Amino acid sequence: APVGDLVARIRQVFDPEIAAGMHTLDERHAGMHLSGAVSAAGESFGSARRMFLFVNGRWVQDRVLFRAVMEGYRTYLLKGRYPAVALFLDVPGESLDVNVHPAKLEVRFSDAETVQRFVIEAVRETLRAKASPLGRWGLTERDVLVPEIEARRRAARLAGVDAPASAAHAPIVSDDAEI
């Protein structure tokens, strides 16, 4: 059944586990509008078959957009791995030629470089804003904080100095709860 909500549509298209970890984006620049969802940083697949790209409502297989998405993920994916994305790019009609391919699967942008930069930055910024830098390696704050505090305590003991009460007995706190 057709749905009007992007999140509900993503759940229809992607596996529930993939859809649950996707981040939505909604960016505008120079008359362009990019909306949709991208898989979390580090979430990757062996093929590009989970990359759905649309321009002005039409599904396309466009190299400019594909490269832009891959460049946006460059520091988050291993070579030969691909993200899951559903991106909808709207551009002014006069900046687009849809008659490049007989089946209209490819498009030509009058300013492909600006489009590419916009998509790269929108994807990168979404990943940056939503992802912990630790998550790229499958780590949590606890994985970093606990060893650091334990190392400080060991160093204080080895130096024959009592660790300050604040460090020795302080709870390890994440953003919202004690670990």
CA nearest to 14, candidates 56, 43, 34:
43
CB 82 within 8 A of CB 66: no
Question: Per residue in 14-48, pLDDT tens?
Answer: 888 888 889 999 999 989 999 999 999 888 999 99
CA distance 49 to 37: 15
Question: Per residue in 131-179, pLDDT tens?
Answer: 665 555 555 555 556 677 778 888 888 887 655 554 444 444 444 444 4
Distance of CA 16 to CAs 8, 19, 22, 26, 135, Å?
Answer: 11, 5, 10, 22, 20
Distance of CA 33 to CAs 26, 43, 84, 104, 175, Å?
Answer: 7, 25, 20, 21, 33
How many Å separate Cα 14 from the centre of its chain? 16
pTM for this prediction: 0.69
